[in-house]
């Protein structure tokens, strides 16, 4: 039987509540056809407060040979956010060459969009964010600290390889969809890196004559996300622009609790990491009311990456069915269910979908 070794990092706050629900639903999706070996790691801000580090020194070596990483969320009041980001998430994303950050933006039946008049089916696109370089670099520093002459500099890094590979990924994804890629730029204001980004986008789009390519400056693009979300199919952006768009996207399709994300090493030389978009939500942690759908949906993305397409579809269909029924929703979606009640409903829906598929085949 196929077996996948998964590094499980629940992290902090509601990460510890939603991740077990994700495992529950993925086990249901496996349905005896394949198996998971879950290995849990306590890497978190809680660990940081006890030991001074988010993960052990050899942490990356410990998980390098796993098939994938399934992460909850990290962040805890009192621990600065740059500590959790640079102490855990960024080392994993960079050292494992997870240069694609992928977020589906899809309005599902049963979820209200904050945008007036938008219904399920109206919004369905992907944000592909460059995840390894760009504006988020460690190059920079401070001169004459504390004096009137204080100067701070932060260097952006755009490599040809880095631009080309994320853009090619976006075009390949568009090939399987509505055949349209939009690039986020700002080449009017940022006069070196962004014209280069545009130049590479033109070069890569020339490799894909069957795919429509267009570009918008990031400022008007954010307005179009709100006013014309139906225009988009695949949107590709640098690390910073992609970061902003990949939070705005989930916001226009309803609760942040349902949005999934993936940090992908497409070559599969290293494990990829799958995590919900939301954070550790300290305001609701411990109450058992966190929505597990973002965690579950990122699990479906993990299944697809592992090659389990049918199981991935079963999980996605189950999410749509449970949302549409509206019987087992958590308070963020207007329901009264607990985290585990919604997890149970999703697992049941996956089982019945899997049984139906088995009967049909």
Q: Which of 313, 295, 297, 301 is nearest to 357 (CA)?
A: 313
Instruction: Name the burial class of residue 86, with classes exposed (0-12), middle (13-18) and buried (19+) by CB atoms within 10 angstroms of its CB.
Output: middle
- Minimum distance from residue 338 beta carbon to ligand NAD (Å): 11
**Residue from 28, 284, 314, 322 in contact with ligand NAD (CB under 6 A):** 284
Structure tokens at 31: 């349905």
Only one of the segments 25-33, 122-130, 191-199, 273-281 lies at the binding site for ligand NAD (rule: CB under 6 A); that segment is 273-281
Give residues 227-266 in contact with ligand NAD (rule: CB under 6 A): 256-257
- Minimum distance from residue 11 beta carbon to ligand NAD (Å): 6
Q: Is the dihedral of CA 182, 184, 190, 196 positive or negative?
A: negative
Only one of the segments 30-38, 136-144, 280-288, 320-328 lies at the binding site for ligand NAD (rule: CB under 6 A); that segment is 280-288
Which region holds residue 254: left if phi is over 0, alpha if psi is between -120 and 50, else beta? left
Nearer to ligand NAD, 183 or 298 (CB): 298
Nearer to ligand NAD, 18 or 174 (CB): 18
- Minimum distance from residue 9 beta carbon to ligand NAD (Å): 10
Exposure of 231 in the CB half-sphere (CA atoms within 13 A): 16
- Minimum distance from residue 279 beta carbon to ligand NAD (Å): 2
Any idea what DSSP says for residue 157? B
280 binds ligand NAD (CB under 6 A): yes
290 binds ligand NAD (CB under 6 A): yes
**Residue from 237, 279, 299, 343 in contact with ligand NAD (CB under 6 A):** 279
CA 229 to each of CA 86, 113, 114, 172, 346: distance values in angstroms, whole numbers, following the listed order: 32, 11, 12, 21, 28
Nearer to ligand NAD, 105 or 213 (CB): 105
SS3 263: strand
Q: Number of residues interacting with ligand NAD: please give it, by CB under 6 A.
A: 20
Residue listed under structure tokens 């088995």: 358
Nearer to ligand NAD, 193 or 295 (CB): 295
Only one of the segments 1-9, 153-161, 209-217, 276-284 lies at the binding site for ligand NAD (rule: CB under 6 A); that segment is 276-284
- Measured between alpha carbons, how far is 11 from 19 in angstroms, rounded to an integer? 9
Nearer to ligand NAD, 88 or 166 (CB): 88
Cross-strand partners of 100: 130, 264
Ranges of H-type helices in the chain = 15-30, 45-51, 59-63, 81-84, 90-95, 160-175, 193-206, 218-227, 239-252, 293-306, 309-325, 339-360
Only one of the segments 129-137, 207-215, 218-226, 284-292 lies at the binding site for ligand NAD (rule: CB under 6 A); that segment is 284-292
Give residues 48-87 in contact with ligand NAD (rule: CB under 6 A): 73-75, 81
Residues in contact with 67: Cβ distance below 8 Å, sequence separation at least 6, in sequence order: 4, 5, 6, 271, 306
Nearer to ligand NAD, 120 or 256 (CB): 256
Structure tokens at 125: 């696109």
Nearer to ligand NAD, 244 or 357 (CB): 244
SS3 101: strand
For residues 277 and 239, the answer to whether their CB atoms sit within 8 Å is no
Taking residues 310 to 349 in sequence order and writing x for each that binds ligand NAD by CB under 6 A, - otherwise, the string is: ----------------------x-----------------
Give residues 2-41 in contact with ligand NAD (rule: CB under 6 A): 14, 18
SS3 272: strand
Nearer to ligand NAD, 205 or 242 (CB): 242
CA dihedral 262, 222, 132, 164 (to 10 degrees): 100
283 binds ligand NAD (CB under 6 A): yes
Give me the residues that bind ligand NAD (CB under 6 A), please. Answer: 14, 18, 73-75, 81, 256-257, 275, 278-284, 290-291, 294, 332
């Amino acid at each position: 039987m196929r077996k996948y070794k998964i590094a499980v990092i629940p992290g902090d706050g509601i990460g510890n509540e939603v991740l077990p629900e994700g495992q529950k639903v993925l086990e249901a999706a496996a349905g005896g056809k394949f198996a998971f070996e879950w290995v849990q790691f306590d890497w978190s801000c809680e660990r940081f407060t006890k030991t001074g580090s988010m993960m052990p020194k050899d942490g990356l070596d410990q998980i390098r040979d796993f098939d994938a990483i399934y992460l909850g969320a990290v962040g805890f009041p009192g621990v600065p956010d740059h500590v959790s980001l640079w102490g855990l998430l960024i080392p994993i994303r960079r050292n494992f060459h997870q240069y694609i950050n992928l977020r589906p933006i899809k309005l599902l039946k049963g979820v209200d969009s904050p945008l007036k008049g938008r219904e399920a089916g109206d919004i369905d696109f992907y944000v592909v964010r460059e995840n390894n370089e760009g504006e988020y670099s460690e190059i920079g520093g401070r001169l004459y600290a504390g004096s009137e002459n204080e100067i701070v500099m932060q260097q952006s890094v755009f490599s040809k390889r880095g631009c080309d590979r994320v853009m090619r990924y976006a075009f390949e994804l568009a090939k399987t969809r509505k055949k349209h890629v939009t690039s986020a730029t700002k080449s009017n204001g940022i006069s070196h890196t962004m014209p280069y980004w545009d130049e590479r986008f033109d070069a890569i789009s020339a490799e894909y004559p069957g795919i429509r390519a267009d570009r918008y400056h990031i400022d008007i693009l954010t307005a179009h996300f709100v006013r014309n979300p139906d225009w988009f199919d695949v949107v590709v952006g640098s690390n910073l622009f992609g970061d902003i768009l990949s939070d705005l996207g989930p916001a226009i399709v309803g609760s942040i609790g349902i949005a999934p994300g993936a940090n992908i090493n497409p070559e599969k030389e290293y494990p990829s990491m799958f995590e919900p978009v939301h954070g550790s939500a300290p305001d609701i942690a411990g109450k058992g009311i966190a929505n597990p759908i973002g965690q579950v949906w990122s699990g479906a993305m993990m299944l697809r990456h592992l090659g389990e397409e049918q199981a991935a579809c079963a999980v996605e269909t189950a999410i749509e069915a449970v949302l549409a029924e509206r019987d087992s929703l958590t308070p963020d979606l207007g329901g009264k269910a607990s985290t585990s009640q919604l997890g149970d409903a999703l697992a049941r829906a996956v089982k019945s979908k899997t049984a139906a598929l088995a009967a049909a085949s």
